[in-house]
């Protein structure tokens, strides 16, 4: 049976996340960093009250907090519970197995975040319902896709690294690019399976297919972006959640 990081299977202890982080970093050379993670179920809301008086800048536009556990970061109105870097920041992301082991020995439940762009994979994300339809369309067109990361609300197609000049030229061919389409390039990040976040468990909708120990193949963004833009533009409201 094919094994790949983040696949659901029985493991001894809490090794699933640390093992996945090590595979991404050391075998595939994908730079990773631990995410903020979710608040412990035993931690009381009183532990967070000292942050309630944090000054507001007037620029925040927090999204409604998903149901379930809150983010372990200090900010009560965190818009992406668990699924963002906090300490260390995204610039600390590395492929050094020693650093990765050190991080996840101390926090074995920490989400695994990929630092996107540069030499690492980039990604395009969109609402889950629309993404499922877009993948079907890509399949019918005979377009080869790479790994697809999924939460109940959004899916992300991993693609080869792109720069924003290249992306701008591709998007410039469209009269309108929906705001619900997300681009994860240089300086961005993305939670990888089997992380647990406030948006739900992260899983592979399409699993990576490593060639031996090498990193999985990734398509160029140009081969998928037109279909993704058109799918989101055509969807009423863009879709948000798959049934079940």
Q: Which two structure tokens, joined as six digits, stand for 208? A: 């990576």
Higher pLDDT, 182 or 241: 182
Q: What would the pLDDT profile of 189-211 be if each residue is shown by its tens digit?
A: 999 999 999 999 999 999 998 76
Confidence (pLDDT) at 149:
98
| Close Cβ partners of 209 (under 8 Å, ≥ 6 residues apart) | 4, 147, 216, 217
Confidence (pLDDT) at 196:
95
In 3D space, the residue among 107, 95, 93, 83 whose CA is nearest the CA of residue 18 turns out to be 107
Q: What would the pLDDT profile of 1-29 be if each residue is shown by its tens digit?
A: 455 676 654 444 468 999 999 999 999 99
Confidence (pLDDT) at 6:
63
Q: What would the pLDDT profile of 211-224 be if each residue is shown by its tens digit?
A: 666 899 999 999 99
Confidence (pLDDT) at 176:
83
| Close Cβ partners of 86 (under 8 Å, ≥ 6 residues apart) | 35, 36, 72, 73
- Reported as half-sphere exposure (CB side, CA atoms, 13 A), residue 239 has a value of 24
In 3D space, the residue among 25, 2, 38, 31 whose CA is nearest the CA of residue 202 turns out to be 38
Confidence (pLDDT) at 137:
97
């Amino acid at each position: 049976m094919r094994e790949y990081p983040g696949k659901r299977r029985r493991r001894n202890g809490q090794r699933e996340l640390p093992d996945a982080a090590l595979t991404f970093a050391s075998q595939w050379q994908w730079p990773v960093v631990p995410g903020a993670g979710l608040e412990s179920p035993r931690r009381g809301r009183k532990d967070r009250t000292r942050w309630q008086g944090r000054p507001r800048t007037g620029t925040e536009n927090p999204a409604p907090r998903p149901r379930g556990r809150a983010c372990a970061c200090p900010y009560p109105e965190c818009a992406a519970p668990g699924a963002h870097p906090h300490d260390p920041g995204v610039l600390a992301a590395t492929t050094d197995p020693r650093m990765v082991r050190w991080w996840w020995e101390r926090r074995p439940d920490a989400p695994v975040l990929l630092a996107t762009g540069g030499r690492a994979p980039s990604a395009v994300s969109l609402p889950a319902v629309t993404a499922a339809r877009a993948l079907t369309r890509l399949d019918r067109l005979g377009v080869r896709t790479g790994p697809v990361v999924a939460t109940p609300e959004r899916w992300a197609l991993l693609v080869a690294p792109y720069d924003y000049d290249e992306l701008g030229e591709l998007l410039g061919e469209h009269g309108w690019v929906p705001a619900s389409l997300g681009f994860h390039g240089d300086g961005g990040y993305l939670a990888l399976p089997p992380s647990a976040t406030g948006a739900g468990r992260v899983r592979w909708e399409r699993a990576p297919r490593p060639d031996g120990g090498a990193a999985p193949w990734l398509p160029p963004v140009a081969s998928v972006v037109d279909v993704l833009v058109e799918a989101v533009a055509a969807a009423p409201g863009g879709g948000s959640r798959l049934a079940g």
